[in-house]
Amino acid sequence: MSRTRIIRIATRSSPMALAQAEHVAELLERLGVQSELVKVTTAGDRWMGDLSKLGGKGAFVKEIDHALLVDDADLAVHCLKDIPGDIPVPEGLAFAGYLARDDVHDAVITGNGAPLAEQPAGTVVGTSSVRRTAQLLLHYPHLTVQPLRGNVNTRLARLEEGHVDVLIAAVSGLHRVGQQHRITETLDLETMCPPIGAGIIALECRSDDSRLRDLGAQLDHAETHRQADAERAMLHALQGHCNSPIAGYATTDRTGRLTLHGKVFSADGAQWLDSKHWGVPEDPQALGFFVGADLLRQGARAIIDAIPH
């Protein structure tokens, strides 16, 4: 295969997705590899209703995966949090690597500049995330949560137009689109546990494309890779669906030891389960399955199955 091959990078066409893909293109350029973007508008981008009616988070990745499978693109750039954990990566595709993880926290953006705890009763928070909704109802029961879909720029516009009073958005995403100055407060991880794969950009390619797998390995961040493997193993063990408020994140201490903190919530936040364990870096998936099994032992299956999907 020619070393002068131009790598076609498939990406969603939202501002944040394009920023991520352009970052990957810059990294490839440092390796002496030319690339071009292949913009894909996914079903999840087109649909402004309930994501579960489209099959959940997979609505953001199916068309991009298809572009790889039919050779319309060579490399896909995904937010790992958008890739379902209850179904395997399509046959013929493989993760090529994970970029170094960004901030996993969620940020609050308020119209009046006051933090969540100081918002008056009935303040409207716009979010379509079942994970965020459950934790908002748990910790801030005086607030009103209303569905709000769209990319972060669209949601910021809704806030400015007065459709909602407050937004919750990923800190990493706000930085990627240059809107970090809008942050009112950053929520701690006990108050707002992040989604599986938060802050991780995943690279995907055809499993038989050795050139792309080699490039992905050069861009791969080993610590992030281990954290992603632990988190996704937990998610797979839980077999949650798109309406399951499942949250969790792995961290690595100075000795390299992995810790995984997982949570499962009921839709209204009234019930929640919590599991935190550590494991060796050589087997992150074992840690993920262990935490998932612990949550199942505590009753996670009943909570997940009680939520319609």
Q: Known catalytic residues?
A: 82
Alpha-carbon distance of 104 to 225, in angstroms, equals 15
Residue 274, beta-bridge partner list:
263
- The gap between the terminal CA atoms of the chain, to the nearest Å, is 45
Helices (H), the chain: 15-30, 43-46, 62-69, 130-139, 152-160, 171-176, 210-219, 222-238, 284-297, 300-305
3-state DSSP percent of the chain in helix, strand and coil, to 5: 40, 25, 40
Alpha-carbon distance of 169 to 106, in angstroms, equals 6
| 3-state secondary structure at position 216 | helix
Alpha-carbon distance of 263 to 194, in angstroms, equals 10
Task: Report CA 157 to chain centroid distance, whole Å.
Answer: 22
Task: Report CA 161 to chain centroid distance, whole Å.
Answer: 27
Alpha-carbon distance of 308 to 304, in angstroms, equals 9
Q: Are 301 and 244 within 8 A, CB to CB?
A: no
Alpha-carbon distance of 151 to 65, in angstroms, equals 20
Alpha-carbon distance of 215 to 203, in angstroms, equals 10
Sheet strands side by side (includes 35-40): 35-40, 7-12, 75-79, 201-206, 93-98
Residue 37, beta-bridge partner list:
9
Alpha-carbon distance of 178 to 167, in angstroms, equals 16
